């Protein structure tokens, strides 16, 4: 009887263990199902994220191209009004150290030329001013609409100064800007809405509003 009793006890023990293991297996199986569902959801989310990233990258590239084109157009308008329609400002794209880069270039008759050698000087300053105006115009959080210019057009030939003044006036009126500039060029000062003349005597500056 003792042997049978021990056998029955062993069977009951193993039966209990099997029941416990089946319960644990059931729990693990349910957990595995949840993990698989979570994995599928994560994979789907990753695919959506990849698609969103691709769309965002495409939109950013398009926005960058539009921004670059706008800045180039502003600078081109200034150049053409001062130096003639043969001039155009553009950007050349390239890769530098594994990163995309944009280099501004000046075209004359469709051929790239050096700004420093073009039309007796002044081209580079107008290119730079065009970039500043264009960047301001497309800025989301725009700073003040007041531009301070120190001796603009100082490298221009005298006969081109009035052309530059008219071009600048039209551009700032179009963009809704106000320009405060310092200049020694009389023909440029005469185009301003208000003019103050500054003279210095014995280290003291005297300011007089001109009519």
DSSP 30-50: HHHHHHHHHHHHHHHHHHHHH
Average pLDDT of the chain, as a whole number: 85
Structure tokens given for 201 = 């005597």
The alpha carbon of residue 145 and the mean position of all alpha carbons in its chain are separated, in whole angstroms, by 19
Beta carbons within 10 angstroms of residue 161's beta carbon: 21
pLDDT value at residue 3 = 54
pLDDT value at residue 30 = 84
pLDDT value at residue 9 = 64
pTM of whole model > 0.75? no
pLDDT value at residue 38 = 84
Could you tell me which CATH number the domain at 56-210 has? 3.40.50.300
pLDDT value at residue 117 = 67
**84 phi and psi angles, rounded to 5 deg:** 110, 165
pLDDT value at residue 89 = 92
What are 136-171's pLDDT values in tens digits? 998 888 878 899 999 998 889 888 999 999 999 999
What are 181-191's pLDDT values in tens digits? 999 999 999 88
pLDDT value at residue 79 = 92
* pLDDT by 10-residue block (mean), the chain, 211 residues: 60 74 81 84 83 77 86 93 91 81 88 73 87 90 88 90 94 92 91 90 87 73
Q: Report the distance separating Cα 27 and Cα 186, nearest Å.
A: 90
> Residues near 17 by Cβ (< 8 Å), separated by ≥ 6?
none
The structural domains of the chain, with segments of one domain joined by +, span 56-210
Nearest to 88 by CA among 67, 71, 66: 71
Instruction: Please answer whether residues 46 and 60 qualify as being in contact, where contact means their C-beta atoms are separated by less than 8 angstroms.
Output: no
């Amino acid at each position: 009887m003792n042997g049978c009793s021990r056998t029955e006890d062993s069977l009951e023990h193993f039966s209990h263990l099997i029941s416990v293991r089946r319960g644990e297996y059931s729990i693990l199986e349910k957990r595995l199902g949840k993990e698989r569902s979570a994995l599928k959801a994560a994979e789907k989310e990753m695919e959506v994220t990849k698609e969103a990233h691709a769309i965002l990258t495409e939109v950013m590239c398009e926005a960058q191209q539009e921004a670059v084109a706008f800045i180039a157009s502003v600078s081109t308008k200034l150049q053409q009004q001062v130096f003639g329609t043969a001039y155009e400002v553009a950007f050349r794209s390239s890769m530098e150290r594994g990163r995309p880069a944009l280099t501004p270039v000046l075209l004359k008759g469709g051929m790239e030329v050096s700004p420093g050698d073009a039309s007796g000087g002044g081209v580079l300053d107008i290119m730079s001013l065009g970039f500043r105006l264009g960047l301001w115009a497309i800025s989301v959080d725009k700073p003040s609409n007041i531009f301070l210019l120190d001796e603009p057009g100082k490298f221009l030939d005298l006969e081109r100064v009035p052309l530059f003044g008219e071009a600048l006036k039209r551009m700032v009126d179009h963009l809704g800007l106000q320009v405060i500039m310092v200049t020694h060029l009389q023909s440029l000062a005469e185009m301003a809405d208000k003019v103050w003349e500054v003279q210095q005597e014995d280290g003291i500056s005297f300011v007089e509003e001109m009519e």
